[in-house]
């Protein structure tokens, strides 16, 4: 039996989470794509034990206060999990969390919150991105907690579950 796969997510505060979830629901309904919880992945697809990950997020949460980041861009790509997303700059709090929780991948870090998963025709997706851009670009999104989540590229989206949470100080 293989070890369960988990990720570490940085989660938007409730008001911003509701806003982003509204975009995810709208885009999912419009394009027939999966629903998911909006999040910023700090470390993905790890088989480290949940207890180890829970300790890591608790320690990181004690070192980083809740913070806000401004949406720098709305971008699209052909990647399934980055089909349509809000992109953020690599700022000191984000870099610190990435270094602390996933030090192996700091060079390739592209902080983002996906708003749509899956293949979608380019034209309609570009139009939707322009519409979302007018609302989200320049908006500050507050992040207030880290979560260990049963999730990964090989875990069906409907089975993703938060198993541990640590609130940023």
pLDDT confidence of residue 164: 98
pLDDT confidence of residue 50: 96
Answer whether residue 96 is part of any domain.
yes
Answer whether residue 22 is part of any domain.
yes
Spatial distance between the Cα atoms of 130 and 73, rounded to a whole number of angstroms: 10
For residue 153, name the pLDDT band (cuts at 50, 70, 90).
Answer: confident
For residue 106, name the pLDDT band (cuts at 50, 70, 90).
Answer: low
What is the per-residue pLDDT across 128-149, written as a single tens digit (0 to 9) for each? 999 999 999 999 999 999 999 9
* Phi and psi at residue 115, to the nearest 5°: -115, -10
Burial code (b: 16+ CB inside 10 Å, e: under 16) for 58-83 equals eebbeebeebebebbebebeeeebbb
Number of structural domains in the chain: 1
Answer whether residue 1 is part of any domain.
no
Q: Give the CATH number of the domain where residue 29 resides.
A: 3.90.1140.10
Mean predicted lDDT score pLDDT of the chain = 94
Answer whether residue 57 is part of any domain.
yes
Expressed as residue numbers, the domain containing 93 is: 6-167
Answer whether residue 56 is part of any domain.
yes
Query: Counting beta carbons within 10 angstroms of the beta carbon of residue 52, is it exposed (0 to 12), middle (13 to 18) or buried (19 or more)?
Result: exposed
pLDDT at 103 over 80: no
């Amino acid at each position: 039996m293989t070890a369960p796969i988990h990720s570490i997510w940085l989660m938007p505060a409730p008001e911003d989470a509701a806003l982003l979830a509204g975009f995810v629901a709208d885009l999912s309904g419009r394009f027939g794509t999966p629903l998911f919880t909006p999040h910023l992945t700090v470390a993905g697809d790890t088989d480290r034990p949940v207890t180890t990950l829970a300790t890591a997020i608790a320690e990181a949460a004690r070192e980083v206060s809740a913070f806000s980041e401004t949406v720098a861009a709305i971008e699209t790509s052909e990647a399934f999990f980055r089909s349509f997303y809000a992109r953020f700059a690599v700022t000191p709090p984000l870099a610190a969390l990435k270094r602390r929780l996933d030090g192996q991948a700091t060079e390739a870090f592209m902080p983002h919150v996906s708003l749509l998963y899956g293949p979608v025709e380019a034209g309609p997706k570009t139009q939707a991105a322009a519409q979302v851009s007018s609302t989200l670009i320049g908006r500050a999104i507050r992040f207030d907690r880290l979560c260990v989540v049963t999730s990964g590229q090989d875990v069906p989206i409907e089975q993703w579950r938060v198993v541990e949470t640590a609130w940023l100080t």
